[in-house]
Amino acid sequence: MTDTSMQTPETGRQAVSLTAYDARTRKRAKAEKRFRAYGIVAIATGLFFLIVLFASILSEGIPAFTRTVVSVDFTLTQQEQEEAESTLFKTKAYSDLFIAALNKELDESGLQVDFDEAAIERLLGKVGGTIRTFYADNPDKLGEPIEFDLAASSRVDGYFKGRVSRDTIQDSRFLQKSDLDLVDALKEAGIIKQVFNWPFITGADSGVDNPGGAGIGASVVGSFFMMLVVLALSLPIGVAASIYLEEFAPQNKFTDLIEVNISNLAAVPSIVFGILGLAVFIQFMHLPQSAPLVGGLVLTLMTLPTIIISTRASLKAVPPSIRDAALGVGASKMQAVFHHVLPLAAPGILTGTIIGLAQALGETAPLLLIGMVGFVARGYPDGFLAGFTEPNSAMPAQIYTWAARADVGFYEKAWGGIIILLIFLLTMNIIAIILRRRFERRW
Partner 1 sequence: MPILWLFLIVVAIALVGYVLGRSRALQSAGGDSRNLHSLPAFYGANVALKVIVPAFGLLVIWLLVQPIYVNSQVSGMIPDTAIKEGSSRGLVLAEVRRTATGLDNAVAQGALTEDVARNARADFTDMTQRLKDAGQVVTSNITQTVLRGAQSYRIMNSSGYRIMSIAVILVALAGAAISLVQTNADYRARNVVEQGIRVLLLAAASIAILTTIGIVLSLVFNTWEFFRLYPASDFFFGTTWAPSFSGRGGASDLGILPLLWGTLYISVVALLVAVPIGLFAAIYLSEYASPAVRAFAKPLLEVLAGIPTIVYGLFALLTVGPLLLGVFGDGGLGWMKAGTAVMTAGLVMGIMLIPFVSSLSDDIINAVPQAMRDGSYGLGATQSETIRQVVLPAALPGIVGAILLAASRAIGETMIVVLGAGAAARLSLNPFEAMTTVTAKIVSQLTGDADFASPEALVAFALGMTLFVVTLGLNVFALYIVRKYREQYE
Partner 2 sequence: MNDMSRVERQVDTNEIKLECRDCQVFYGDTHAIKDVNVDIEDKTVTAFIGPSGCGKSTFLRCLNRMNDTIDVARVQGSFKLDGEDIYDKRVDPVQLRAKVGMVFQKPNPFPKSIYDNVAYGPRIHGLAKNKAELDEIVEKSLRRGAIWEEVKDRLDAPGTGLSGGQQQRLCIARAVATEPEVLLMDEPCSALDPIATAQVEELIDELRAQYSVVIVTHSMQQAARVSQKTAFFHLGNLVEFGETGQIFTNPVDPRTESYITGRIG
Bridge partners for 68 per DSSP = 194
Quick one: 93 or 414, whose CB is closer to partner 1? 414
The least CB distance from residue 410 to partner 1, in Å, is: 11
Total residue count of the chain as it appears in this document: 443
Collapsing DSSP states into helix, strand and coil, what is residue 204?
Answer: coil
Q: To which H or E segment does residue 1 belong?
A: none
Rounded Cα distance between 259 and 347, Å, is 23
Cβ(133)–Cβ(95) under 8 Å?
no
Please report whether residue 143 would count as binding partner 1 according to CB under 8 A. Answer: no
- Residue from the set 109, 133, 332, 427 that interacts with partner 1 by CB under 8 A: 332
CB of 28 to partner 1, least distance (A): 5
Binding status of residue 13 toward partner 2 by CB under 8 A: yes
Q: Identify which range of 14-22, 164-172, 247-255, 342-350 contacts partner 2 by CB under 8 A.
A: 14-22
| 19, 86, 170, 251: which one binds partner 2 (CB under 8 A) | 19
Under 8 Å CB-to-CB from 438, ≥6 apart: which residues? 347
CB 200 within 8 A of CB 215: yes
Q: What is the dihedral of CA 342, 347, 349, 352, to 10 degrees?
A: -170
For 370, phi then psi, to 5°, come to -95, 15
Residue closest to 296 by CA, chosen among 237, 218, 234:
234
How far apart (Å, rounded) are the C-alpha atoms in residues 200 and 164?
20
Asked if 15 interacts with partner 1 (CB under 8 A), we say no
Q: Is 86 in the site for partner 2 (CB under 8 A)?
A: no
CA-to-CA distance for 413 and 215, rounded, in angstroms? 8
Site for partner 1 in 339-358 (CB under 8 A): 358
Interacting residue with partner 1 among 336, 361, 376, 420 (CB under 8 A): 361
Stretch of residues binding partner 1 (CB under 8 A), selected from 68-76, 160-168, 195-203, 262-270 = 262-270
Taking CB under 8 A as the criterion, the residue among 142, 271, 344, 431 binding partner 1 is: 271
Query: Contact between 1 and partner 2 (CB under 8 A)?
Result: yes
Contact of residue 79 among partner 1, partner 2, none (CB under 5-8 Å per partner type): none
User: Cα(70)–Cα(68) distance, rounded to whole angstroms?
Assistant: 7
Q: Is 136 helix (H, G, I), strand (E, B) or coil?
A: helix
- The binder of 272, among partner 1, partner 2, none, by C-beta within 5 to 8 A per type, is partner 1
Nearest of 235, 230, 252 to residue 353 by alpha carbon: 235
In the complex, minimum distance from the CB of residue 25 to partner 2, in angstroms, rounded to a whole number: 6
**Number of residues located near partner 2, criterion CB under 8 A:** 18
Using the rule CB under 8 A, is 17 a contact of partner 2? yes
CB of 39 to partner 2, least distance (A): 17
State the binding partner of 24 from partner 1, partner 2, none, CB within 5 to 8 A by kind. partner 2
- Closest CB to partner 1 among residues 35, 443: 35
Q: Does 421 bind partner 1 (CB under 8 A)?
A: yes
Pick left, alpha or beta for residue 286 (phi over 0 → left; psi -120 to 50 → alpha; otherwise beta).
Answer: left
From residue 205 to residue 234, the character string flagging contacts with partner 1 as x (rule: CB under 8 A) and all else as - is ------------------------------
Is the distance from CB of 182 to CB of 357 less than 8 angstroms? no
Q: Does 36 bind partner 2 (CB under 8 A)?
A: no
Binding residue for partner 1 (CB under 8 A) from 118, 195, 208, 257?
257
Edge-first strand listing for the sheet containing 145-151: 145-151, 66-75, 192-196
Residues contacting residue 70 through CB under 8 Å, at least 6 positions apart: 123, 124, 148, 149, 150, 152, 186, 191, 192
CB 7, min distance to partner 2, A: 9
Interface with partner 1 includes 240 (CB under 8 A)?
yes
- Give the interface with partner 2 as residue ranges (CB under 8 A): 1, 3-4, 6, 8-9, 11-13, 15, 17-19, 21, 24-25, 28-29
